[in-house]
């Protein structure tokens, strides 16, 4: 930045030239202090004229200050240039002030200092000084003191001195600085250049110029700023003749003393105390004719900051005692001169108020600290303190009471103009009811300065204030609506992390937010409209949203949740459950808003675990479930389910919704660990424990509760290493007993239930129950194993309670029992199984009499894989005794018949594995009879013997089950379940059979005899669908050799064709088809859809194999098969099934025909 000459600069130069002429026969370079009044008029008039014209601009004050800064800077540099002998040849290129500076006549320090005094530019002078190194500051202060002491000494000299002192203590005025290109920085660079050619000033405040000591004036004895200032004031104390100036000077001395010797770090005043002081200062200054303005408050804040911040000019020469003695000496001198008498009480002096504050600070600090004797040599500290107390008493005047109106006006200006500490005062503004007396100003400030209130604590206080207004007796509807909108807008502008903090605070205040009590209908209607609009936007947006749309949806939900958390969560639940696919989006939104879960109160880990155990034990002793209060979301879901029964699809959405909310996610970036929006223990406590009762609950409740419990147990929660599993918060032992009791009831689910029984068990529910019981048992078992002595009491309680339940249930809880108890089974099982006595013991059960050992053995095999392995390995059977094998096979047939109807799918799968193992090992004898064959097929069926024998065994089982002695065992639901289990077994047998003959892909059906495509009659491509090793080697000999040996190739194809068991597979499938049809005809109703579908599946595989291997069935054989299958199908009662099957049978035509 370079100063460019213009009219104003030319006028200013002319004024200085005229002033220089007025000095004749002398000049401005030798001007004396007494002569300034004679020559100052042209310069001051020129400045007034320039500033008067600038007042017409938009920023008159700023422009005037800028002009005064330029004048001070140029005059000072002109003075320094003369002293250092600046080279004009280089100056015009390097000096940005050259144009104005070169046009001025030579001046001395009297001109500079008198100009400062006339322009009241103490602040500007101090700001320039602060850009210099301390040594140079001391030198310039010494010149100022010397000038002040020179004759004549007036009060304006002293006032300039004290003002410069205090401005130095206040530090740089950041508002007046211009940055890198500011005039202060330019001044510092040029000052450095002129003072020392080898040293440069950095633009930063921390890097200051270091001058050569020879540059310092000879009159400066020290570089201690405080020493210079205090001694200067001491020297001229008798020249102060006004009370106001004495009070001001003494206050500055005390503040300088306090910030130099009594504090080591800034004293942070509480906002309330700061506002109290500010309001008093403003009240006093208004009484003295000053007008409240941002500049007045900024100045007061700056004074307050300087009085409570350690001085940047720490004293190096003076000690505490010496400084204090000088100050008290000044006070005594002026007090004895009658200059410290305060004004009348009606118009208290601002200087007196400041002095009172200063004295109180010093006295308080001196009382608190222990001053070393080395700092108070030759000084009686107690006497000095006593003198200050006396001074304080003499300064007492009528206390100024703060009014809410003044507090509100001061706070409003600070917030509106973003003055120092405005955010803390905004917090005070929001929380102090007294500041809200003038509602119009309060509302206007809040509405215009929303950004100042975008802090969590501030918004929470505002929220409380709004709730008080809404719930007060006299409610202004218009004002409340306006205020609610402003507060909601402030909330919306917060970051997601801060939004969650505020939501947590709101949940602590009221789960219904602003609507916790009755509010005006207009306010409620506006909120309902906003709530509906928000969720309409979310629903219309659909599930597949981008990240930006998700952020918008989160912001919408957060805004309405801030106003009424309960209503927002109720709307979330409704949208998640009743809007198709809405659960995923709503879950994503809520996972971003963990603040809606409410405040989390964390206990000490050890104490928490002990309380959990104690609670669990008390629940056991009392025989009840300890149900804890759940979250607001769970309450909303419960209310929704009570009001409207859920359909099957809505139940599914409900389960997925809660499953997603239980999944741990990183809600906000920067969190240490993932957290669930809805902890699994809350779901279990709210939806599972109350509903898992054996009496008085619907099947829907139990089924839904089991599904929720299964989902909760499947959630992977990051537990701390030292913390217990969350399930211990859910009364685990009573829960295990209830589940075991339900499992025991479900074991005979097809039996006729007594009157009044509510439960109707589906096999899916039974299987889910077993899975949940086993999973929960593993979790609790791990906790018991970690602290067995702690859990011994509830463990024995649970084991004793199991005596009244079915014996098989205990095996699901094997992880809980550990090594504490033996495996108890019916005594009859021990007759067919050699089990070690150390681990197994018998039970005398009336329903398990002689001959029921294999029944108990089969039931054990179906419970778990590990138990199945134990039963197979310890089975007592002498295979060398044929009569034993026959008796075992017959007994197993009966046991399987008794077990089959009550098996779940997983249990049935285990039993099928057992049957295959027994058949393969030869322990189970199942003769295969040709009931559906008119002639003996010349086939090798040995590799399919397991499938054929298993199919025949199941046929015999179903024949027994459908016989007259067992036909009344099952209900229609039971028979349908048996059909599903048999269809499952058929599907397994089909898959096992097909695995031995994989169907060739379309590209592998032809093995060419030559590179050329053969004629259709040359070979049968299907006969060589699978390559044998011999064929592969032959194919590597090359085309010529293959063409020379067509007979050999033909023989290879025939040999391969004979090795493919396609005919055997067709035979096995035909037997399976006949067995399925036989059983479908036998079963009550004859309309079992799973068996019908199994028949269709068999026919489809049969057709595919015939197409892939045409020579596996001749035309005559195909015709016989179709006739045979149709004859069997004729026995079906259902005409639609019969028609579909016969249509499928008609398609079984061999491609070889």
Give pLDDT, residue 716. Answer: 78
Q: Residue 89: pLDDT above 80? A: no
Out of 40-54, 128-142, 700-714, 1061-1075, which region has the weakest mean confidence (pLDDT)?
40-54
Cβ atoms of 818 and 784 closer than 8 Å: yes
Tell me the C-alpha distance between 250 and 352, whole Å. Answer: 10
Residue 271's H or E segment, with its range, is helix 271-287
Q: How confident is the model at residue 179 (pLDDT cuts 50, 70, 90)?
A: low
End-to-end CA distance of the chain: 106
Tokens of 1017: 């009659």
Structure tokens at 784: 């018991």
Kindly provide the b/e burial profile for residues 1054-1092, where b requires at least 16 CB atoms within 10 angstroms of the residue's own CB: eebbeebbbbbbbbbbbbbbbbbbbbbbbbeebbbebbb
- Rounded to whole angstroms, the Cα distance separating 660 from 665 reads 10
Cβ neighbours of 942 (radius 10 Å): 8
Whether the per-residue pLDDT at 639 is higher than 50: the answer is yes
Chain segment 718-730, per-residue pLDDT in tens: 666 667 889 998 8
- For residue 534, pLDDT over 90 is answered with yes
979-1005 burial code (b ≥16 CB/10 A, e <16)? bbbbbbbbebbbeebbeebebbeeeeb
> What Å distances lie between residue 351 and 122, 288, 391, 431, CA to CA?
18, 11, 14, 32
Residue 690: per-residue pLDDT = 85
Q: Which of 675-689, 902-916, 990-1004 has the lowest mean pLDDT?
A: 990-1004
CA trace torsion 1055, 1061, 1067, 1069 (10° rounding): -150
The per-residue pLDDT for 968 is: 79
Block residue for tokens 């009755």 = 518
Most confident of 59-68, 357-366, 752-761: 357-366
Q: DSSP readout, 558-603?
A: HHHHHH-HHHHHHHHHHHHHHSTTHHHHHHHHHHT-GGGG----PP
Q: Stretch 762-771: mean pLDDT, rounded?
A: 88
C-beta neighbour count of 473 within 10 angstroms: 4
Count other Cβ atoms within 10 Å, centred on residue 1097.
18
**DSSP structure class, residue 517:** S
Coil, strand, or helix at residue 824?
strand
Whether the CB-CB separation of 692 and 702 falls below 8 Å is answered with: yes
**Residue 893 pLDDT greater than 60, yes or no:** yes
* pTM score, whole prediction: 0.78
pLDDT tier at 199, thresholds 50, 70, 90 = very low
pLDDT at 751: 63
Ranked by mean pLDDT, the top range of 468-472, 836-840, 983-987 is 983-987
User: Which burial class, exposed, middle or buried, applies to 256 when counting CB atoms under 10 A from its CB (0-12, 13-18, 19+)?
Assistant: buried
In this structure, what DSSP letter does residue 402 have? Answer: P
- With the C-alpha atoms ordered 186, 191, 196, 200, is the resulting torsion angle positive or negative? negative
What phi and psi, each to the nearest 5 degrees, are found at residue 218? -65, -20
Backbone angles phi, psi at 696, to 5 degrees: 80, 15
- CA torsion sign for 427, 428, 431, 437 is negative
* Residue 419, both tokens: 């003055």
For residues 276-295, one letter each, b for 16 or more C-beta atoms within 10 angstroms of the residue's C-beta and e for the rest, the string is ebbbbbbbbbeeeeeeeeee
Closest CA to 12 of 76, 73, 67, 82: 67
Joined tokens for residue 267: 């004293």
pLDDT band at 1006 (very low <50, low <70, confident <90, very high): very low
Query: Cα 910 from chain centroid?
Result: 45
Residue 295 has pLDDT above 70, yes or no: yes
Q: Inter-axis angle of helices 381-394 and 320-336, to 10 degrees? A: 40
CA distance 271 to 414: 12
Distance CA 29, CA 1075 (A): 130
Q: What is the pLDDT, as a whole number, of residue 672?
A: 62
Q: Is 856 in contact with 828 (CB distance < 8 Å)?
A: yes
If you average pLDDT over residues 261-267, what whole number do you get?
A: 92
620-634, 1071-1085, 1102-1116 — which is least confidently predicted?
Answer: 620-634
- d(Cα 497, Cα 490) in Å, to the nearest integer? 14
């Amino acid at each position: 930045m370079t100063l460019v000459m213009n009219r104003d600069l030319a006028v200013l130069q002319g004024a200085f030239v005229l002033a220089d002429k007025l000095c004749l026969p002398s000049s401005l370079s030798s001007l004396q202090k007494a002569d300034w009044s004679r020559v100052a008029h042209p310069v001051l008039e020129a400045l007034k004229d320039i500033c008067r014209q600038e007042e017409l601009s938009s920023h008159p004050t700023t422009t005037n200050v800028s002009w005064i800064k330029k004048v001070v800077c140029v005059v000072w540099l002109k003075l320094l240039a003369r002293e250092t002998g600046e080279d004009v040849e280089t100056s015009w290129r390097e000096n940005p002030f050259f144009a104005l500076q070169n046009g001025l006549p030579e001046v001395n320090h009297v001109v500079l200092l008198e100009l400062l005094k006339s322009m009241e530019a103490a602040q500007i002078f101090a700001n320039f000084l602060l850009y210099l190194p301390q040594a140079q500051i001391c030198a310039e202060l010494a010149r100022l003191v010397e000038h002040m002491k020179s004759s004549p000494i007036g009060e304006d000299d002293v006032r300039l001195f004290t003002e410069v002192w205090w401005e130095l203590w206040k530090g740089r005025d950041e508002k007046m600085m211009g940055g890198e290109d500011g005039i202060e920085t330019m001044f510092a660079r040029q000052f450095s250049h002129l003072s020392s050619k080898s040293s440069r000033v950095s633009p930063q405040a921390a890097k200051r110029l270091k001058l050569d000591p020879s540059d310092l004036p000879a009159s400066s004895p020290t570089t201690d700023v405080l020493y210079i200032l205090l001694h200067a004031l001491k020297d001229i104390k008798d020249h102060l003749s006004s009370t106001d100036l004495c009070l001001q000077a003494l206050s500055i001395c005390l503040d300088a003393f306090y910030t130099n010797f009594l504090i080591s770090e800034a004293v942070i005043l509480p906002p309330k105390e700061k506002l109290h002081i500010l309001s008093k200062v403003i009240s006093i200054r208004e009484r003295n004719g000053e007008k409240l303005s941002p500049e007045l408050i900024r100045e007061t804040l700056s004074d307050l900051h300087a009085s409570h911040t350690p001085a940047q000019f720490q004293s190096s020469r003076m000690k505490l005692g010496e400084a204090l003695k000088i100050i008290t000496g000044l006070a005594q001198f002026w007090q004895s001169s009658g200059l410290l008498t305060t004004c009348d009480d009606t118009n208290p002096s601002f200087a007196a108020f400041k002095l009172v504050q200063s004295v109180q600070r010093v006295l308080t600090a001196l009382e608190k600290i222990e001053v070393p004797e080395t700092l108070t040599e030759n000084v009686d500290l107690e006497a000095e303190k006593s003198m200050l107390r006396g001074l304080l008493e003499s300064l007492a005047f009528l206390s100024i009471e703060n009014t809410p109106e003044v507090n509100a006006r001061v706070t409003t200006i600070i917030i509106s103009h973003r003055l120092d500490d405005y955010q803390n005062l905004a917090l005070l503004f929001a929380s102090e009811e007294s500041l809200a007396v003038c509602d119009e100003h309060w509302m206007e400030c809040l509405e215009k300065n929303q950004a100042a209130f975008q802090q969590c604590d501030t918004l929470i206080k505002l929220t409380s204030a709004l709730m008080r207004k809404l719930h007060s007796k006299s409610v202004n509807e218009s004002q409340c609506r306006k205020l609610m909108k402003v507060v909601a807008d402030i909330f919306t502008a917060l970051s997601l992390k801060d939004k969650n903090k505020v939501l947590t605070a709101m949940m602590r205040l009221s789960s219904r937010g602003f609507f916790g009590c009755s509010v005006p209908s207009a306010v409620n209607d506006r909120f309902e409209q906003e709530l509906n609009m928000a969720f309409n936007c979310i629903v219309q947006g659909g599930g597949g949203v981008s990240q930006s749309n998700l952020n918008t949806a989160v912001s919408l939900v957060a805004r309405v949740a801030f106003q009424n958390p309960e209503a927002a969560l109720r709307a979330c639940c409704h949208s998640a459950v009743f809007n198709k696919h809405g659960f995923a989006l709503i879950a994503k939104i809520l996972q971003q808003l963990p603040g809606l879960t409410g405040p989390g109160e964390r206990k000490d880990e050890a104490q928490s675990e002990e309380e959990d155990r104690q609670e669990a034990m008390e629940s056991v002793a009392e025989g009840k479930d300890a149900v804890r209060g759940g979250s607001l979301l769970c309450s909303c879901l419960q209310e929704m389910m009570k009001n409207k029964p859920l359909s099957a699809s809505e139940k599914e959405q409900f389960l997925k919704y809660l499953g997603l909310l239980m999944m741990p996610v990183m809600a906000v970036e920067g969190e240490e660990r993932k957290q669930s929006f809805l902890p699994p223990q809350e779901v279990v406590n709210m939806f599972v424990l109350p509903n898992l009762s054996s009496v008085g609950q619907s099947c829907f409740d139990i089924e839904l509760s089991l599904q929720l419990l299964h989902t909760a147990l499947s959630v992977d929660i990051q537990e701390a290493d030292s913390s217990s599993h969350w399930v211990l918060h859910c009364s685990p032992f009573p829960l295990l007993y209830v589940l075991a009791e339900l499992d025991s009831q479900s074991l005979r689910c097809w039996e006729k239930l007594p009157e009044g029984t509510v439960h109707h068990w589906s096999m899916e529910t039974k299987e889910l129950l077993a899975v949940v019981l086993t999973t929960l048992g593993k979790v609790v078992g791990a906790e018991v194993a970690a602290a067995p002595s702690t859990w011994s009491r509830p463990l024995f309680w649970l084991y004793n309670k199991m005596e009244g339940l079915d014996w098989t249930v205990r095996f699901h809880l094997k992880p809980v029992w550990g090594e504490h108890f033996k495996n108890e089974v019916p005594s009859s099982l021990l007759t067919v199984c050699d089990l070690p006595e150390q681990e197994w013991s018998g039970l005398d059960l009336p329903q398990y009499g002689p001959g029921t050992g294999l029944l108990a053995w089969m039931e054990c095999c179906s419970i778990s894989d590990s138990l199945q392995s134990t039963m197979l390995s310890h089975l007592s059977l002498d295979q060398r005794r044929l009569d034993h094998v026959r008796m075992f096979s017959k007994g197993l047939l009966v046991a399987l018949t008794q077990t089959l109807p009550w098996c779940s799918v997983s249990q049935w799968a285990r039993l099928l594995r057992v049957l295959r193992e027994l058949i393969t090992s030869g322990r189970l004898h199942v003769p295969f009879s040709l009931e559906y064959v008119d002639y003996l097929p010349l086939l090798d069926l040995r590799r399919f013997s397991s499938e054929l024998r298993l199919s025949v065994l199941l046929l015999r089982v179903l024949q027994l089950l459908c016989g007259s002695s067992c036909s009344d065992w099952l209900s229609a639901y039971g028979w349908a379940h048996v059909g599903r289990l048999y269809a499952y077994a058929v599907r397994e047998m089909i898959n096992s059979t097909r695995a031995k003959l994989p169907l060739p892909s379309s590209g592998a059906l032809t093995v060419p005899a030559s590179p050329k495509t053969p004629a259709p009659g040359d070979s049968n491509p299907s006969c060589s669908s699978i390559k044998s090793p011999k064929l592969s080697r032959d194919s590597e000999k090359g085309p010529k050799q293959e063409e020379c040996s067509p007979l050999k190739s033909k023989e290879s194809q025939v040999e391969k064709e004979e090795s493919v068991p396609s005919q055997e597979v067709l035979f096995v499938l035909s037997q399976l088809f006949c067995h399925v049809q036989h059983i479908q005809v036998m079963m009550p109703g004859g309309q079992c859809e799973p068996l019908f579908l199994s028949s269709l599946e068999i026919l489809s595989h049969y057709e595919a194999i015939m197409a892939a291997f045409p020579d596996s069935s001749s035309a005559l054989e195909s015709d016989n098969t179709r006739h045979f299958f149709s004859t069997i199908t004729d026995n079906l009662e259902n005409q639609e099934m019969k028609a579909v099957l016969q249509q499928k049978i008609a398609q079984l035509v061999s491609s070889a025909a």
